[in-house]
Amino acid sequence: EAGVVQSPRYKIIEKKQPVAFWCNPISGHNTLYWYRQNLGQGPELLIRYENEEAVDDSQLPKDRFSAERLKGVDSTLKIQPAELGDSAVYLCASSLRGQASNEQFFGPGTRLTVL
Amino acid sequence: AQKITQTQPGMFVQEKEAVTLDCTYDTSDPSYGLFWYKQPSSGEMIFLIYQGSYDQQNATEGRYSLNFQKARKSANLVISASQLGDSAMYFCAMREATGGSYIPTFGRGTSLIVHP
């Protein structure tokens, strides 16, 4: 069974440029998470989807960040325009819906560097 | 207030010894789950073990066990018989059941180095 797929693995851009990250969760997983992990810290939730509905997005900086999961499967996270402080690893995870015990399966992450 | 506190930024252990990684949490929700993840230098987060707030017994998964002390709001990870491949960052996380949603929160992590 394929795991969570993310692309690209690495991205270097200049500030004020747009950038997009893609995630394909494990087949059958209704819940999808986007996290940001700054250097030396734990992941911080940006947004959580249940199928195509964004149910937790209070941590998403909505002035520059947007996300979508149109068909309830794969998802895209966009930053426009990027700032220096956006340099981080962006992690996508998925899980089965509805149970607190359901572990999240993480993708390899996208390491973003903003110059 | 921090929901998850990992007070040990770094830990060293000798190969084959046991090590305990500390985690305390803060929640007023009676229903929550506690997780430990391992993050090697390659970057992927690997699930290790889960403990539910209503579980009576401490969770165990192979060499990993979770020392769950509910009254103290403590969920320490114990790794027995450490191996060189255990060297990694370890994150404690909590998922609270709030209004039907499960909001995950991670600690800052503990770096574990296993030396021969």
Chosen for mutation from B102, B110, B111 (greatest number of chain A CBs closer than 10 Å) is: B102
Tell me if A108 and B105 make a contact (CB, 8 A cut-off).
Answer: no
Give Cα separations from A37 to A44, A72, A80, B87 (angstroms). Answer: 6, 24, 19, 19
DSSP reduced 3-state for B96: strand
Per the DSSP assignment, residues forming a β-bridge with A19 are A79
Q: What is the mean pLDDT of chain A?
A: 92
- CA pair distance B92, A62, nearest whole angstrom: 28
Q: Chain B closest CA to A15's CA: distance in Å?
A: 24
**Single-letter code of the amino acid located at A114:** V
Per-residue tens of pLDDT for chain B, all 116 residues? 679 999 999 999 999 999 999 999 999 888 889 999 999 998 889 999 999 999 989 999 999 999 999 999 999 999 999 999 999 999 999 988 765 566 789 999 999 999 99
Q: Which residues contact B61 (CB under 8 A, 6 or more apart)?
A: B48, B49
Nearest to A108 among B43, B95, B108 (CB): B43
Q: Please check the confidence at residue A108 and state whether its pLDDT lies above 80.
A: yes
Nearest to A100 among B47, B102, B107 (CB): B102
Nearest to A101 among B33, B101, B105 (CB): B33
Q: Chain B closest CA to A16's CA: distance in Å?
A: 27
Could you tell me if A90 and A35 are in contact, meaning their C-beta atoms sit under 8 angstroms apart? yes
Quick one: pLDDT band at residue A58, thresholds 50, 70, 90? Answer: confident
pLDDT value at residue B98: 65
Quick one: pLDDT band at residue A71, thresholds 50, 70, 90? Answer: confident
Within an 8 Å CB–CB cutoff, is residue A22 touching chain B?
A: no
Q: Please check the confidence at residue A105 and state whether its pLDDT lies above 70.
A: yes
Residue ranges of A 35-54 with Cβ closer than 8 A to chain B? 40-45, 48
pLDDT digits (tens, 9 = 90+) for B37-47: 999 998 889 99
Nearest to A55 among B45, B91, B101 (CB): B101
Q: Please check the confidence at residue A35 and state whether its pLDDT lies above 80.
A: yes
pLDDT digits (tens, 9 = 90+) for A89-102: 999 999 887 665 67
pLDDT value at residue B100: 58
pLDDT value at residue A97: 72
Give the closest residue to A94 by CA, choosing from A75, A67, A70, A71: A75
